[in-house]
Amino acid sequence: MATVGPLELPESGYDAVIFDCDGTLVDSMPAHFEAWCEALTLHGAAGVFKEDIFYAMGGRPTKDIVVELNDEYGLKLNPESVALAKREAFLKKVKGLTLIEEVADFARSLLARRIPMAIATGGSRHVIEKTLQAVGVSDWFDEVVTADDVVVGKPAPDIFLRAAKLLGVAPEKCLALEDAPAGIIAAQTAGMAVVAVPSPLDFANR
């Protein structure tokens, strides 16, 4: 498992907990970055997506990121084609994914307490289902909300609001765990308390 060090996780004050997946529950961001690099190279845009920018844009739908890369670098990448290539490249890497230890331990404690839990992710449903299956936690969550389920992705609050609605819990009674700026903004805009999860890379470099 990956580790991010001690997290300040409240034991009370919420009726449900909503987790981001990539970089929060699952240590998958390095694999996602590799998949991005492979997809962009395939489409003649090698090197345009720097790692620091990738992490800053974490949580956002793939197609939205391609549109922004086009605007930033004057490219004409097809968002659908790049997203498909990126998805296929990532799916080849899922068997090597691991949970983030501290977040997984927290989720297990919530299971024991029978507190409702959901996933709220900027990823597509197919990829997230494969990710959760790969790390063996598909049955932990009452609901899984993906970018496929909303019109507007993070940093808009829609994904978190939909997750709360499906759980039957008011947003202000939900605790959210997120690693990316877009996701943190989305959860806060939804009215939720947020625990920011640092990346395993940040912890290793302390």
Active-site positions read 20
Give CA–CA dist 168/16, Å, rounded: 9
Torsion of CA 28, 34, 35, 36, to 10 degrees: 110
Tokens 């939804």 belong to: 190
Give CA–CA dist 154/188, Å, rounded: 11
Report residue 111: phi and psi, to 5°: -60, -45
